[in-house]
Amino acid sequence: MSSTLVEHEAAAKAPRPVTTGTPSPRRSRRLSWGRITPYLLILPAIVFELLVHVVPMVVGVWMSFIQLTQFYITNWLSAPFVGFGNFQIALDFQNPLGAQLARSFGVTLAFTILTVGSSWLFGMAASIVLQRSFRGRGFLRTLFLIPYAIPAYAGIITWKFIFQRDTGLLNELLVDNLHLTDTAPFWLIGDNAFWSLVIVSVWQQWPFAFLMTMAGMQGIPEELYEAAAIDGASVWQQMRHITLGLMRPINSVLLLLLFLWTFREFNTPFVLFGARPADSANLLVVNIYQSSFIQWNFGLGAAMSVLLMLFLILVAALWAVWNRKVRRDA
Amino acid sequence: MKIRILTAGAAVLALTVGLAGCAQSGESPAPTDASKPYAGTTIKYWATNQGPSLDADVEILQPELDKFEEQTGITVDLEVIPWSDMTNNTLAAAVSGQGPDVVNIGNTNATTLNTTGAFLPFEGEDLDAVGGKDKFLESAWQTTGPEGVAPTSLPLYSQVYGLFYNKALFEAKNLEAPTTWEELVDAAKAITDPATDTWGIVAPAGTVNVAMHIQYIFTAQAGGSPFDKAGEPDFVTDENIAGVRQYLDLMSEAKVMNPSNAQFTDGTQATSEFAAGKAGMYMAQTGNVAALQANGMDPSQYGVVPVPAPAGGDEVGSFIAGTNISVFKNTKHKEAALEFVKFMTSPEVSETLNKAYGTLPPLKDVPASAYEDFPELMDMWSLILADHAIPMSQVPTVSAYQANVGGGVVALFAEAATGATPTDADIEAMLNEAQQKMATS
Amino acid sequence: MHEPRSFKIFRWVVLVPLVLFTAVPLYVMMSSSLKPLGDVQGPWEWWPSEFTIQPFIDIWSTVPLAHYFWNSLVVSVCATAASVIIAIFASYAISRYRFRGRGAFSGVVLSTQMFPGILFLLPLFIIFVNIDRALGFQLFYQTQAGLIVTYLTFTLPFSIWMLASYMDGIPRDLDEAARVDGTTAMGALFRVVLPSARPGIIAVAVYSFMTAWGEILFASQMTNNETRTLSIGLQAYSTEVNVYWNQVMAASLVVSVPIVVGFLILQRYLVAGLTAGAVK
């Protein structure tokens, strides 16, 4: 998967036919049909991509340059062009909206790093201890994958119930069973909301990390471990040198995917807290949702979305550069 | 081979469903009948969630819609939308130009929605077609927008805020219904007993629109308004700070409100807590009578008085709330839609529906039959509407005011609930921030 | 194989917290769904005061759950079927052909992973509505077809990516040989590549189905009473007279069970699909 990604990056820079080591079916080149075939094959995909990704994105970017407020929403074309005005508001950190966006960016970054880090760590750890067969391994593997399969809404609403102040499991456990605090803390408002968000997201995300790392580890030939064991390497050394080493490509893809997905997370805060989460849990996409659908300032919302997209593209580009360097060094 | 069959099957399935989707929207041909000029037309109506549940709304509305069909031959395709989705759906319809023909709106948004230009102005013959301005009560008419601008919505159900109090809890402590804010706080303190989870007052403190409503009322009690004479936002005033303070203090200063209320993001939970006898008082709108009943609380178990003002303050207990009805400008069935609005605002239908919802008919000479068995409640709601209610500011930025100030109040409640004691400076900072956000919307 | 004691301890240290973390919410969901309403309105009880299946009966009448279930099923199945078919062709082209624009296409497919969905929401509205207007009937706006198309393009990029990687892992000699024998490109795809790519295809289908089944943002804005899907329909329980947590949990369970069972049956394919794509 990762090699494909790198290959695509390279191909994007050099539009000429790529000549890789593998032979391509040259036979078809001679026939005009053969030349058209690949385009016919990707045509349906292109049509749908255009309809739902490319065209809306172009419209969305255009929206970010106009003053699309309640006064103009029924007649888009009459909305005044404001150039970078919306971007100025979004990036003016003296202004409350800009300040809120900056804070929201910080919250989102912290949330993403914690969620992705924990999810990866949990996934790796579980994959490693479940790599060798023992009684109950199949059951545990199944159990760990369940949260990934449960529809987002059902999982999040269950957590919302757990986090209820007066009727939730968590406070019953902390206050009445373990007597850790006297007054029941809030989990859905105030600063704790951030931790609730992280917990729920990790619960949902880590099974995917587990699935990916488990898949990766299954691909490592058993002989490598056997050979290492004959050479006298301990289980820990095998883990460090063979498992972690060979898992590097899959880990780098996994971390990128988790980062991109988590940074855009909308479902969890929206279901947990509603349209107005605590400042501590005000993720970027929710912030954009507020600007657009609650404040009815779609131009500003679009400008924020464009900024978010630029940031994610930057992250992916940095990742691609880093990934290529790692591969060259390897 | 198997996969080929599978994929082929799936492709056929996809196509079939696609076609089935198309087929749904076909329109039936119209039979002609001179007395029913629009017979055969189908109009789409989005109703707001007025009753205890969406299903209850359908049960209440459908018989009336059937009557309408019988009279006019016009079919009404009803959809009841929860309040939480209403603004979004209306907005989507406004943006896309495609939506229902007739829609209910919360009247605080009347002016905001008017400025979108998505709705049909009721003026000239269109206003005549629905029965004219004169059938509406003056107080209700004020909710349709600023003077001199053709309204794009007409009053359907009127409501005001009142202070509900639990008679049993009050009698147990030998308390009288409060007439000033100070008495309210004292009574609340007498009732509050965290050990038995009984509280003086309950409020949906995590609910943005209610926070805005209450802030508006309390600011008016202090003699101020969130908007200046020109209709511009003017949040950073002593009166506005006092308005926030008075509401917030119930939790942070007097501690007569369960901090858990800060998690109530809609009115449902507050209503059920009050019905369960967990709180002595509840500031809520007229229509809550029906929801309380659904939760097992009979009108004989509670009393209602105007929301009291601090001693010496203006005796404002409510703004004139309620639900209005609008027609989308680009409806293809304007005449049928106007016919339907006329029907919905006719005396008989108004009486029936307002009775079912426990709300007040906005029409002259139409009795509020919901309270025929409880005359003292009837008198009280009439009194509040006549003497204690002011109109909501009719400015286009009311929705933004609701989002920014209402949202800010909710955030302060969250702080109060989690242990902080918000100061006047905190409130001022919140209002200041809200004010600055208004400048960009 | 020899396992040192330290590894066994490490295994316990890892597994016990993870099992608790994973299982507690599942337990909450299951036990609460069997409680009477009174149990879920007071402080949390670890064990129901009495077992009742009433919540499972009530959920169908409180909210038209069966209708939403059907909607979700139609939308998810169609989006999955279409996604798989289109992805098969597109990834075959990417995997087996070197053509002008291949890089650009792959780039676009990948970059969609960086687009915030919310940026599309409103423009997509406008586009759907205008298509409908041009056609003269409601094809996309607030219809199942509209939702299917929307989900299709969420799932398509990842599907193409995953399947193309999977096909890269299938030796070219196989289809080359078939081509030399005179089989057409389509013939090679259907007779040679597809049978070998079955795990990858199932993996793509599982992923697509789950994405469509659980999506919230677009479903909340692009459906109406008729076309509402489960994830949005579930929210209706909290707009009722009371917050029926036992019913909410029962409904969540009912919504989750089919997809969890399906996923667990097919997950080995997902693992295989991911492995082939990622490690080579």
- Measure in Å the smallest separation between the Cα of B423 and chain A Cα atoms: 17
Q: Using 50, 70 and 90 to split pLDDT, how confident is the model at C122?
A: confident
Q: Does C78 fall in a domain?
A: yes
**What are the residue ranges spanned by the domains of chain B?**
2-159+321-380, 161-318+393-438
C89 touches chain A (CB under 8 A): yes
Whether residue A188 contacts residue B263, with contact meaning beta carbons closer than 8 Å, is answered with yes
Candidates C98, C106, C112, C239, partner chain A, best to mutate (most A CBs within 10 A): C98
Q: What CA–CA distance (Å, rounded) separates B50 from B63? A: 16
CA diameter of chain C? 74
Residue with tokens 């449960």: A150
C191 touches chain A (CB under 8 A): no
Check residue A199 and give its pLDDT.
Answer: 97
List strands edge to edge, sheet with B321-327: B75-81, B42-48, B102-106, B321-327, B154-159
In this complex, do C25 and A289 lie within 8 Å of one another by their Cβ atoms? no
Q: Which amino acid would we find at residue C203?
A: A
Q: How many CB atoms lie within 10 A of CB B161?
A: 26
Q: Does C241 fall in a domain?
A: no
Q: Which of A136-145, A250-259, B83-92, B137-146 has the lowest mean pLDDT?
A: B83-92
Q: What are B326's strand-pairing partners?
A: B103
Q: What CA–CA distance (Å, rounded) separates A99 from A91? A: 8
Q: Return the CATH superfamily for domain A84-329.
A: MetI-like (1.10.3720.10)
CB contacts, 8 Å: B441 with chain A: 69-70, 295-297
Check residue C245 and give its pLDDT.
Answer: 87
B76 touches chain A (CB under 8 A): no
- Kindly tell me the burial class for residue B415, based on how many C-beta atoms sit within 10 Å of its own C-beta (0-12, 13-18, 19 or more): buried
Q: Does C53 fall in a domain?
A: no
CATH architecture assignment, domain B2-159+321-380? 3-Layer(aba) Sandwich (3.40)
Long-range contacts of A236-242 (CB under 8 A, 24+ apart): A236/C4, A236/C6, A236/C7, A239/A128
Check residue C100 and give its pLDDT.
Answer: 82
CB contacts, 8 Å: B99 with chain C: none
Q: Does C249 fall in a domain?
A: no
Q: Using 50, 70 and 90 to split pLDDT, how confident is the model at A209?
A: very high
CA angle A126/A129/A130 to nearest 5° reads 80
Mean pLDDT value across residues A50-70: 85
- Measure in Å the smallest separation between the Cα of B288 and chain C Cα atoms: 11
Whether residue B310 contacts residue B221, with contact meaning beta carbons closer than 8 Å, is answered with yes
Whether residue B245 contacts residue B427, with contact meaning beta carbons closer than 8 Å, is answered with yes
Residue A182 CB contacts under 8 Å (≥ 6 apart), including other chains: A175
Q: Does C44 fall in a domain?
A: no
Answer yes or no: is pLDDT of A155 > 90: yes
Could you report the per-residue pLDDT of C129-175, keeping only the tens digit for each?
Answer: 778 777 877 788 778 888 998 888 788 888 888 888 888 888 888 77
Candidates A52, A131, A201, A252, partner chain C, best to mutate (most C CBs within 10 A): A52
Check residue B411 and give its pLDDT.
Answer: 93
Please tell me what DSSP assigns to residue B119. Answer: B
Express as a percent the part of chain C with pLDDT over 90. 20
Closest to C173 in 3D by CA, of C196, C151, C154: C196
Q: What is residue B162's three-state secondary structure?
A: strand
Check residue B82 and give its pLDDT.
Answer: 81
Check residue C239 and give its pLDDT.
Answer: 59
CA distances from B358 to B84, B322, B343, B376 (A): 21, 12, 19, 14
Could you report the per-residue pLDDT of A87-105, keeping only the tens digit for each?
Answer: 988 888 888 888 889 999 9
Q: Chain C window 115-154: which residues touch A at a Cβ cutoff of 8 Å?
A: 115-124, 126-127, 149-150, 152-153
Write out the residue range of the structural domain in which residue C106 sits: 63-236
Answer yes or no: is pLDDT of A121 > 80: yes
Q: What CA–CA distance (Å, rounded) separates B87 from B113? A: 10
Closest to B217 in 3D by CA, of B423, B384, B441, B428: B384
Per-residue pLDDT of chain B (441 residues; tens, 9 = 90+): 344 444 444 444 444 444 344 334 434 444 455 677 888 889 999 999 888 778 889 999 999 999 999 999 999 999 888 887 787 778 777 777 777 899 999 888 888 888 888 899 999 999 999 988 999 998 899 889 888 889 999 999 999 999 999 999 999 999 999 999 999 999 999 999 999 989 999 999 999 989 999 999 999 999 999 999 988 999 999 999 999 999 999 999 999 999 999 988 878 889 989 999 999 999 999 988 888 988 899 999 999 999 999 998 899 999 999 999 999 988 889 999 999 999 999 999 999 999 999 899 999 988 888 888 888 888 899 899 889 999 898 888 888 899 899 999 999 999 999 888 999 999 999 999 999 888 765
Q: What is the pTM of this model?
A: 0.86
Residue C191 CB contacts under 8 Å (≥ 6 apart), including other chains: C178, C183
Span B161-318+393-438: which CATH code? 3.40.190.10
B228 touches chain C (CB under 8 A): no
Q: Chain A window 183-222: which residues touch B at a Cβ cutoff of 8 Å?
A: 185-186, 188-192
CB contacts, 8 Å: C226 with chain B: 24
Q: What is residue B355's three-state secondary structure?
A: helix
Closest to B233 in 3D by CA, of B242, B224, B244: B224
Q: DSSP readout, A24-89?
A: P-GGGGGSHHHHHHHHHHHHHHHHHHIIIIIHHHHHHHHHTTB--STTTTT-GGGSPB-TTHHHHH
Q: What CA–CA distance (Å, rounded) separates B203 from B274? A: 9
Query: For strand B75-81 and strand B42-48, is the pairing parallel, antiparallel, or unpaired?
Result: parallel
Residue with tokens 């060259």: A328
Q: Contact partners of C by the rule of 3+ C-beta pairs under 8 A?
A: A, B
Q: Does C75 fall in a domain?
A: yes
Tokens at A305, concatenated: 């979305």
Count of structural domains within chain C? 1
The whole-angstrom distance between residue C187's C-alpha and the CA centroid of its chain comes to 30
Q: Does C119 fall in a domain?
A: yes
Whether residue A301 contacts residue A60, with contact meaning beta carbons closer than 8 Å, is answered with no
In this complex, do A129 and C10 lie within 8 Å of one another by their Cβ atoms? yes
A95: left (phi over 0), alpha (psi -120 to 50) or beta: beta
Size (chain A), residues: 330
Q: What CA–CA distance (Å, rounded) separates B354 from B335? A: 25
In this complex, do A149 and C263 lie within 8 Å of one another by their Cβ atoms? yes
Closest to C91 in 3D by CA, of A324, B14, A1: A1
Query: For strand B199-202 and strand B279-285, is the pairing parallel, antiparallel, or unpaired?
Result: parallel
Q: Which of A70-74, A189-193, B170-174, C200-204 has the lowest mean pLDDT?
A: A70-74
The whole-angstrom distance between residue B401's C-alpha and the CA centroid of its chain comes to 16
Residue B162 CB contacts under 8 Å (≥ 6 apart), including other chains: B283, B284, B285, B286, B304, B305, B306, B307, B317, B318, B380, B381, B384
Whether residue B264 contacts residue B207, with contact meaning beta carbons closer than 8 Å, is answered with yes
CB contacts, 8 Å: C59 with chain A: none
